Amino acid sequence: MSDLNKLTIAEARDLLRAGDVTSVALTEACLEAIDGAGKLNAFVHHTPDLALERAKAADDRLKSGDAPAMCGIPVGIKDLFCTQGVDSQAASRILEGFRPEYESTVSAQLRDAGAVMLGKLNMDEFAMGSSNETSVYGNVVNPWKVDARDLTPGGSSGGSAAAVAADLCLAATGTDTGGSIRQPAAFTGTVGIKPTYGRCSRWGIVAFASSLDQAGPMTKTVRDAAIMLEAMCGHDPKDSTSADLTVPDFEAMLTGDIRGQKIGIPREYRMEGMPAEIEKLWAQGAEMLRDAGAEIVDISLPHTKYALPTYYVIAPAEASSNLARYDGVRYGHRAKLAQGDGITQMYEKTRAEGFGAEVQRRVMIGAYVLSAGFYDAYYNRARKVRTLIKRDFEAAFATGIDAILTPATPSAAFGLGEMAEADPVQMYLNDVFTVTVNLAGLPGISVPAGLDAQGLPLGLQLIGRPWEEGALLKTAHVLEAAAGFVSKPEKWW
C-alpha cells in the first residue's frame, strides 16, 4: 500500500488488527514523509531509531492479540511533553540540552498503549504564542498556502497541527492554555480537542499557566480524536488536579444522533468587525445542527468581553511564577560570566539569553500584576472575573443547553510576520473565542467546517459541559459529517 501516512487512526487500527499492514510499514511511511518536509519545520527532534524499535514491539503485540486502539499508530509529540532520554526543550534556548530521565504521564500512556513516537514537534516557546513564531527552532510553516505566501499554522501547537495536516504523522499531542490546540487546528483544517481541566494529567508537561494548561489530541477526524483522547486520559496521583473519574469509551459514543439536543449560540461572540465569512460559517454550522435534529437557542454569556484581559493577567502571572525555576543552576542554558560576576549576574544573563522576547514580555507582565502595589488591582480582580465567566457557562448549561457553538478563530490563517512584532496585542486577539473555555475549565473542540474566499480552512468550535467529552465528540462528529470537509493542502513542501 502507498501513502500509508495519509491514513486516519481508525483506518490504520483496522488494517493493523486485520494484519493487512504493519506498524513498521506505517512508521517508515511517516518517517519518509518527515524527511521530505523540512520546509515545514514541524519536527525538531527526530527519533527514527526509537520509532522503529517501538513499531516492531507494536507488531509483536498485535500478533499476540494484545492490541489497544492506539497500538502501532505513529504519532508526533509536542516539545512541551517531557520524553525520557529525548530532548525536551519547550522550544526555548533556556532548556537547551535537557533530556529528562522520566516520561510525562500523557506520553507514557500513549507509549504503553503501543503508540509509536516519531519525534518531537515544534511550538511557540513555552507555549506562549498564537503563530508559532516564538520558537528557538524558527517558525513552523502552514502546509496550506495562498499566493506563495508562507502562512502561520497557529500556535502554540503549530508543529502538531502542521504535521497532522501534512500527513507527517497520523496524529499528534498538543496542549491548550488559551486556545493552543483549537486555534491551530482551525488554521490547518484538522480536529483539536481540549478536554475538561483535570481530564488529562499535567505531570511531565512543561508548565506555562498551571490552572489553565491541558493536554489533548490533534487528529484528522473527530473519530480519531475520540480514540486518542481515551488513551491520553486517566487519573494520575502525581498531578493534584487530575480527576479520579472513569474514562468512557469515547468512540462508542459517536452514534450520529443528536436529536433533541439544545445548542446555544452566545450573542456576545458576535464581535464588532467580525469577517462576514466567519459569520456566515457560524450560521451554516447552526443550520447543520438544526437539520440533524438539534434545537438552536440564543444564550447570553455576559462576561465574555472581559475574558481576554482576564486571561492576559492570570496566564502571565502564573507563567512568571512557573518560569522562575529556570536560572541556569541545575539544567539547561547557563550564560558565560565575566570575572567578578556573582550569582545575581548569572541569573540575569542566563534568563536574558535563554528566554525569547515574547516569554520575557509575559514574565514581566506577570511579575508586575503580582507585585505588592498591583496584586489586588489586577491579579485578584482577574480571579474574581474568572469566577463570573465560569458562572456564565454554568447558568447556560443549567437551562438545559448541551453544547455551545461559536467560531474557532476570528479569521483564517494569516501570513508569517504579519502580526508578531508589529502589534502583540493584535496577536492576542486571535484567542478571543477560545480563552473563555480555559478560564472556565470546560472541554472545547475545533472542527474544520469550510474554506474562506482564499481557499483556506475555517473551523467551528463546540463547547461542552464539564466531564462530558463523549457528548461533545458526538455533536462534533455530526457537525463534521454535515460540513463534509475533505480538503487537503496541495503539496508544495
Short-list 80, 83, 81, CA closest to 103: 83
The DSSP annotation for 152-179 comes to ---SSSHHHHHHHHTTSSSEEEEEESSS
Q: Which long-range contacts (CB under 8 A, 24 or more apart) does 278-283 make?
A: 278/407, 278/409, 278/410, 278/411, 278/458, 281/407, 281/449, 281/450, 281/458, 281/460, 282/405, 282/406, 282/407, 282/460
What's the rounded Cα separation, in Å, for the pair 261 and 268? Answer: 21
Give catalytic status of residue 104 as yes or no. Answer: no
Asked if 157 is an active-site residue, the reply is no
H or E element that contains 404: strand 403-407
Cα-Cα-Cα-Cα torsion 128, 80, 409, 198, nearest 10 degrees, comes to -110
Catalytic annotation present for 78: yes
Q: How far is CA 138 from CA 40, 117, 347, in A?
A: 10, 22, 25
DSSP class of residue 376 equals I
Nearest to 321 by CA among 276, 279, 283, 365: 365
Tell me how far apart the alpha carbons of residues 477 and 462 are, in angstroms, rounded to a whole number.
11
Dihedral, CA atoms, 209, 171, 199, 307, nearest 10 degrees?
Answer: 40
Q: Which of 88, 107, 131, 156 is catalytic?
A: 156
Which residues are 191's β-sheet partners? Answer: 219
Give the span between the Cα atoms of 436 and 303, in whole angstroms.
9
Closest CA to 120 of 16, 193, 50: 50
Quick one: CA torsion of 194, 195, 196, 202, rounded to 10 degrees?
A: -90
**Peptide bond before residue 156 is cis, with ω within 30 degrees of 0:** yes
Query: Which of these is catalytic: 23, 78, 194, 201?
Result: 78
Active-site residue (options: 88, 135, 160, 180): 180
Residue 235 makes CB contacts below 8 A (sequence gap 6+) with 201, 242, 243, 244, 245
Residue 146's DSSP bridge partners are 149
Helix axes 357-370, 307-322, angle to 10 degrees: 100
Give the integer Cα–Cα distance in Å for 119 and 46: 5
Catalytic residues: 78, 156, 180
